[in-house]
Amino acid sequence: MTDPPTDPPTDPPTERFPAGFLWGAATSAYQIEGAVREGGRTPSIWDTFSHTPGRTAGGETGDLAVNHYHRYRDDVALMAELGLNAYRFSVSWSRVQPTGRGPAVQVGLDFYRRLVDELLAKGIRPAITLYHWDLPQELEDAGGWPERDTAYRFAEYAKIVGEALGDRVEQWITLNEPWCSAFLGYGSGVHAPGRTHPAAALRAAHHLNLAHGLATSALRSVTPARNQVAISLNSAVVRPLSQDPADLVAVRTIDDLANGVFHGPLLHGAYPRTLFAATASVTDWSHVRDGDLAAIHQPLDALGLNYYTPTLVSAASGTTGIPRADGHGTGAHSPWPGADDVAFHRTPGERTEMGWTIDPTGLHELIMRYRHEAPDLPLYVTENGAAYDDRPGPDGRVHDPERIAYLHGHLSAVRRAITDGADVRGYYLWSLMDNFEWAYGYGKRFGAVYVDHGTLARTPKSSARWYAAAARTGALPAVAG
């Protein structure tokens, strides 16, 4: 008879996370579900984009992904084994409402009903993201997010899902990283739908804001008052290359385009005036109509923050060869409308496989920014994680000490922010398992669970076991030297 496994040493009791803290993991529909032609589902913009030659690494698509649609029970059992008490997933809009209009396809909703029931049966709190970048292709054909009508279609969709699941799901996130949807999808074109029109990107940003506000009202009209409605922003931590006044102006420009364009209307009911000035050559902002800001400025119940790496900028020193190491792909077109005079620099330090610098201080800085900007608003870290070149060893196990160190550093930053007065209530690791990483295909592995993309076998990495111990104890296990 052998002794049961024991958790590794943890931080002192005085440094534990608060009782009730959510230890979760996150995924998105197109990245894991597969079954793209089942149950009435129709193509989304990511189906179209990934099937367009040259758009994704190796021409890879999410057609199968990791087949979560058929393996969700096993995946939920794995979550329970790892001690997760929360799971953030997204709903595929075109699985529920194939044309983006009209009544729901019940077989599509039934998949999410079964998933929610399975999570609740295992004691795992579901958190639904309504939109994680997979717009129904038919709505894109009608103009997509640069068109105002898309916001109203989104509100109708939100109401459908809220009516179906609002009695059992208490945590709702309207949009995931609307910056990526607007500026990578319609500005640089490195994300679906792959358009490269700066003015369209700014219109898309506004209509995504409007969609959030309208969907928030729609959800609250059909779900219990106890439910939380939030949004997840990939707010940038923008730092200057120097204290030169021109570099500080560059910081202001990028902060407005990365952050103020969303949290201005969401939190304060207005866009930054400096944003209007910086983008005057691109748009006159006439797409903002009377009543829009009031519709957007709905009281939030919480705010989700997604963080990976800081951004380092300066004023451009010339008109040619301006560096754009902003971590958002290598497309020929910039995702930063009106910011042609800003240079982006590689931040110093160790990097993940994405080329992103590892800097937990940025997560603390981001949390504290919103602690001061919206002091009464509960915060969740809805994405944080790292890609590494994970491979099974001779023993069949997947050892990823780099990810353990990454998680320890960033969770320590979260705990320090809580000590400093921030109301952070949960952390969602990105991601539960290796999956389709958008334009990078299957080559970038963010998962705590290794997926063999040939057999789809799941193998928890050593980081998954480490994270499970943190979830069980509420304290961070030691990191091997």
Question: Would you name the residues annotated as active-site residues?
Answer: 177, 383
* Dist. CA 476–CA 466, nearest whole Å: 8
Residue type, 467: Y
CA distances from 247 to 77, 258, 457 (A): 50, 16, 49
Cβ atoms of 388 and 353 within 8 Å: the answer is: yes
Count other Cβ atoms within 10 Å, centred on residue 437: 21
* Dist. CA 429–CA 404, nearest whole Å: 12
Angle at 233 between CA 227 and CA 236, to 5 degrees: 155
H helix intervals, 6-67: 29-32, 45-50
Query: Nearest-CA neighbor of 386 among 325, 461, 477?
Result: 461
The two structure tokens encoding residue 137: 């292709």
The two structure tokens encoding residue 133: 């970048």
The two structure tokens encoding residue 19: 């009782």
What pairing do the DSSP bridges indicate for beta strands 86-90 and 125-131?
parallel
Angle at 333 between CA 330 and CA 335, to 5 degrees: 85
Q: Burial, 354: exposed, middle or buried (Cβ in 10 Å; 0-12, 13-18, 19+)?
A: middle
Query: Nearest-CA neighbor of 275 among 294, 288, 290, 289?
Result: 288
* Dist. CA 310–CA 243, nearest whole Å: 17
Q: Buried b / exposed e across 315-349, counting CB within 10 Å, b at 16+?
A: bbeeeeebebebbbbebeebbbbbbeebbbeebee
Q: Which DSSP helix (H) or strand (E) runs through 204?
A: helix 198-222
**Alpha carbon 339 to chain centroid, angstroms:** 24
What pairing do the DSSP bridges indicate for beta strands 22-26 and 424-430?
parallel
Query: Number of H helices and number of E strands within the chain?
Result: 16, 13
